[in-house]
Amino acid sequence: MPEKYSFGLLGYPLGHSLSPKIHAAALNAHNLQGEYKLFPIKDEADLPGLIDLLREGMLHGLNVTIPYKSTLINFLDDLTPTARSIGAVNTISRQRNHLIGENTDAGGFLADLGRLDWFPDTDQRRHALLLGAGGSARAVAYALGKRGWQLTVAARRLEQAEQLVRSLSGVKSGERAQLLAECIPFDRGALSAVQHTPDLIINTTPLGMSPYDDVSPWPGDLAIPPQAAVYDLVYNPFDTQFTRIAGAAGLRAASGIGMLVEQAALSFEIWTGLPAPRAEMHASIAAHGTGVK
């Protein structure tokens, strides 16, 4: 165990990040010395220098967010089975001089969905509509697919959604041999004609993230399906335009702030080998609200 831990977050932009507060709370709960830095890297040409800090032991762990969750794979020595299936990493650790990529977004999402207890009947076949097809969407699709959910993936670039579905073709979905998923364009016409009525709509895009608080990924002139719950991976602001619209319509809605804490907890455990103090981590951002309606 090092005398002082050094963790960080790679991505761009990072002005919205609450991760330093969450990890500071985790370190303090275990009476550990350490810091959690932000690395807002805009140019991919600057990535090798940061990776070198990991290889040299100057950093003990790195989180990865938009837009590098897939790009960073090329810099790593190995991936966990989960990260390999998803095709995206959000957590990097150094083990025996090797850099290992993991994806804790999938586990973090499922943990928070379980906390919300929206779908207690796990045997009932459910359908989820994912907005976006980037790295976060891959993690959510993998997590739900493993639980037997049927998926519709909406993306502005349809080929990106198709690539996501192909990448998860080997995922066993519940008792089925493979994941059941379809792809549609991310536009009003396609969303209004989704073949299967969704039980859950998940925004995996950055639409609505601060400072663009008045933006919603859902078309303004299209009603959200009345039986659907809404989960927005955006957590700053914790009450997004999407969750506000859903809440005003009487629907269950939550931001991604709970998932943020859960994925951070899993990262902390990977880096330190210690149990994550989830209560303290949640409390560290309590001022930002629960994000649940």
> Which residues, 6+ apart, have CB-to-CB distance to 256 below 8 Å?
112, 231, 232, 233, 234, 235, 291
Please give the residue range of the domain that contains residue 58.
5-104+258-288
With a pLDDT cut of 90, the percent of the chain lying above it is: 81
- Residue 37 among the catalytic residues: no
Two structure tokens written together for 30: 């275990």
Q: Indicate whether 151 belongs to any domain.
A: yes
pLDDT, residue 135, reads 87
Question: Is there a single domain that holds both residue 86 and residue 148?
Answer: no
Question: Is there a single domain that holds both residue 152 and residue 84?
Answer: no
Burial 15-26 (b: 16+ CB within 10 A, else e): ebbbbbbbbbbb
Question: Is there a single domain that holds both residue 49 and residue 139?
Answer: no
Question: Is there a single domain that holds both residue 250 and residue 266?
Answer: no
Give the chain's end-to-end CA distance (angstroms, integer).
41
Question: Is there a single domain that holds both residue 51 and residue 136?
Answer: no
Q: Indicate whether 89 belongs to any domain.
A: yes
Query: At 182, which amino acid appears?
Result: E
pLDDT band at 116 (very low <50, low <70, confident <90, very high): very high
Section 203-224 average pLDDT: 94
Which domain CATH number covers 83?
A: 3.40.50.10860
0.85 cut: is pTM over it? Answer: yes
Cα radius of gyration rounded to whole Å, the chain = 19
Question: Is there a single domain that holds both residue 13 and residue 122?
Answer: no
Question: Is there a single domain that holds both residue 67 and residue 148?
Answer: no
Q: Indicate whether 56 belongs to any domain.
A: yes
pLDDT, residue 252, reads 98
Two structure tokens written together for 199: 């039980």
- pLDDT digits 0-9 by tens, 124-164: 889 999 999 998 999 999 999 999 899 999 999 999 999 99
Q: Indicate whether 68 belongs to any domain.
A: yes
Q: Indicate whether 167 belongs to any domain.
A: yes
Contact predicate 279/265, CB 8 Å: no
pLDDT band at 177 (very low <50, low <70, confident <90, very high): very low
> Which residues, 6+ apart, have CB-to-CB distance to 97 below 8 Å?
55
Section 181-189 average pLDDT: 95
pLDDT, residue 124, reads 83
Of 4, 42, 69, 293, which one is the catalytic site residue? 69
Report strand pairing: 34-40 vs 229-232: unpaired
pLDDT band at 233 (very low <50, low <70, confident <90, very high): very high
pLDDT band at 30 (very low <50, low <70, confident <90, very high): very high
In the DSSP assignment, the letter for residue 45 is G
Section 65-75 average pLDDT: 93
Question: Is there a single domain that holds both residue 78 and residue 157?
Answer: no
Measured CA to CA in angstroms, residue 152 lies from 19, 87, 138, 145, 196 at distances of 30, 18, 12, 11, 8
Question: Is there a single domain that holds both residue 135 and residue 247?
Answer: yes
Two structure tokens written together for 251: 């629907």
Section 238-260 average pLDDT: 96
Measured CA to CA in angstroms, residue 175 lies from 83, 130, 243 at distances of 22, 22, 33
Question: Is there a single domain that holds both residue 231 and residue 122?
Answer: yes
How many Å apart are CA 173 and CA 180, to the nearest integer?
8
Type and span of the H or E element at 69: none
Give yes or no for residue 1 having a pLDDT over 90: no
Mean pLDDT (the chain) is 92
Q: Indicate whether 247 belongs to any domain.
A: yes
Question: Is there a single domain that holds both residue 64 and residue 115?
Answer: no
Report strand pairing: 127-131 vs 200-203: parallel
Section 23-36 average pLDDT: 98
Q: Indicate whether 55 belongs to any domain.
A: yes
How many C-beta atoms lie closer than 10 Å to residue 7's C-beta?
24
Q: Indicate whether 293 belongs to any domain.
A: no
Pick from 25-29, 158-162, 176-180, 242-246: least confident:
176-180
Domain count, the chain: 2
Question: Is there a single domain that holds both residue 132 and residue 241?
Answer: yes
Which domain CATH number covers 243?
A: 3.40.50.720
Section 190-215 average pLDDT: 93
User: Residue 13: is the preceding peptide bond cis (ω within 30°)?
Assistant: yes
Section 118-125 average pLDDT: 84
∠ CA 128-132-134, rounded to 5°: 115
pLDDT band at 36 (very low <50, low <70, confident <90, very high): very high
Section 8-32 average pLDDT: 95
